[in-house]
Amino acid sequence: MKPAIIFKNVKKTYASLQAVDGISLNIPEGEFFGLLGPNGAGKSTMINMLAGLVKPTSGSISVMGYDVQASYQEARHSVGIVPQELVFDPFFNVREMLRFQAGYFGKGKENDSWIDEVIDRLDLREKAHTNMRKLSGGMKRRALIAQALVHRPPVIVLDEPTAGVDVELRQRLWSFIKELNKEGHTIVLTTHYLEEAEALCNSVAMMRSGKIVAADTTKNLLKKFASKNLKLRLDLKSNKTLPADIKRIQHEAIGQDYIFQLKKITDIAKITESLGKAKIDILDLQAVDIDLENVFLKLTGK
C-alpha cells in the first residue's frame, strides 16, 4: 500500500524542549491510524507540523507524496485537519463558514452539493443558518469536522476529536469516522481515550517524550503484550500453600488475591483442578483481559 503520510527523521525543538525527537513513521493509504501518548508527548506537535502550522527543526514530512514545505499547496489540499480546540469565527453561520473554507481551497459553487452532504451527514442541517457563536459545544465540534471535509481531502486528521463530547455524540462521531475510512479516506486520530483507539484504529503508534515507543497494528500490539489473566481469591489456611505445579505459573499475590498470567486458556482448568486436589477453596474468580490501556501504561512507564 502506498504511504499516505511519511515522517522522515523529524525533529522539533522549542528553546530547551525537544518536542519531537527524530521520528520516522509511514502511514499507508486507507489506514485508520491512532497516535497515542500522554499530555506533552508530542502528538499535537506532530499534527501541527503535518498541517504546516509549525515548521520542523529538521527532517521532512509528506502527505500523498507532497512535501508539506516545498509543495505546501498540494499537501494542504490532500489533508483535512480537525483542530483540538473548539475554535470558530463569530461573524458567520455554519453554512457560510463551510463555503468560505471550501473557497480558500479553490472550490467554487460546484462544491455546494458536497457541502450540503457534509451538513446532512453530520446532522447540522437545522443549525446550518445559526451563527457559530450560538452553537453548543457538540455542534461546534461537528462543524469543525465538517470544515475539515469541505475540500474532500484523502487524508483526515482528527486531533482529540471526542475530548469533552458526551457518550452519544462520541458514538455517532466514531461511526461517522469509520464510514469515512471505509470510503477510502486515510484517518489519523490522536486521542487520550485508549478504548477509542482500540475500537477504531487498525494500527497505532505510542509516543512518549517526543519519541515513538511502539508502532504496530493494534492487533499485534495487543498480542505482543497480551496475556489472559486469572484473578482468584483463595481461602488459604495458614498451613496451606499453593501447590507446586501452580507455583510455576507466573503470578502475583495481593493479600488473598492471586493474579495468574495464563499462557493458554486451558491453564484455567489446570489451576482449578490442582486447587481442588489441594482442598483450597476458591472464594472468587475473575478473568482479566489486557487492553490497549495496559500496553500503553507498560510502554509509557506510567
Partner 1 sequence: MVNTRSQWIGMWTLLKKEVLRFWRVVFQTVASPVITAVLYLMIFSHVLGERVQVYEGVAYTSFLIPGLIMMSLLQNAFSNSSSSLVQSKVMGNIVFLLLTPLSYIQFFVAFLVASILRGIFVGFVIYIVALFYVDLPINHPFFVISFAILGGGLLGTFGIIAGIWSDRFDQMAAFGNFVIMPLSFLSGVFYSIHSLPEIWQSISKLNPFFYIIDGFRFGFFGQSDISPWISLSIVTIFFIVLSVIAIRMLKSGYKLRN
Q: Which residues bind partner 1 (CB under 8 A)?
A: 51-55, 72-74, 76-77, 81, 83, 85, 87-92, 99-101, 103-108, 147
DSSP 247: H
C-alpha cell, 203:
494500527
Q: Minimum CB separation from partner 1 for residue 110, in Å? A: 10
| Residues forming beta bridges with residue 189, ordered by sequence position | 34, 158
Q: Minimum CB separation from partner 1 for residue 172, in Å? A: 24
Query: Can you list the positions of beta strands (E) in the chain?
Result: 3-14, 17-28, 32-36, 58-63, 66-67, 79-82, 155-159, 186-191, 203-208, 211-217, 228-235, 251-254, 257-262, 281-288
Q: Which of 286, 285, 281 is nearest to 235 (CA)?
A: 281
Q: Minimum CB separation from partner 1 for residue 285, in Å? A: 52
C-alpha cell, 154:
484523502
Give the β-pairing of 79-82 and 32-36: unpaired
Q: Closer to partner 1 at the Cβ: 53 or 285?
A: 53
Q: Minimum CB separation from partner 1 for residue 181, in Å? A: 21
Separation of alpha carbons 99 and 125, rounded Å: 14
Helix/strand/coil for 56: coil
Separation of alpha carbons 58 and 66, rounded Å: 17
Q: Closer to partner 1 at the Cβ: 77 or 251?
A: 77
Q: Minimum CB separation from partner 1 for residue 209, in Å? A: 21
Q: Minimum CB separation from partner 1 for residue 193, in Å? A: 23
Q: Closer to partner 1 at the Cβ: 51 or 242?
A: 51
Q: Minimum CB separation from partner 1 for residue 257, in Å? A: 49
Q: Closer to partner 1 at the Cβ: 88 or 174?
A: 88
Q: Which of 249, 251, 239 is nearest to 278 (CA)?
A: 239
Q: Closer to partner 1 at the Cβ: 103 or 243?
A: 103
Alpha-carbon distances of 142 from 119, 149, 166, rounded to whole Å? 9, 11, 13
Q: Minimum CB separation from partner 1 for residue 120, in Å? A: 22
User: In terms of C-beta density within 10 A (0-12 exposed, 13-18 middle, 19 or more buried), how is residue 229 classed?
Assistant: middle
Q: Closer to partner 1 at the Cβ: 73 or 220?
A: 73
Separation of alpha carbons 178 and 79, rounded Å: 17
Q: Closer to partner 1 at the Cβ: 104 or 237?
A: 104
Q: Closer to partner 1 at the Cβ: 144 or 197?
A: 144
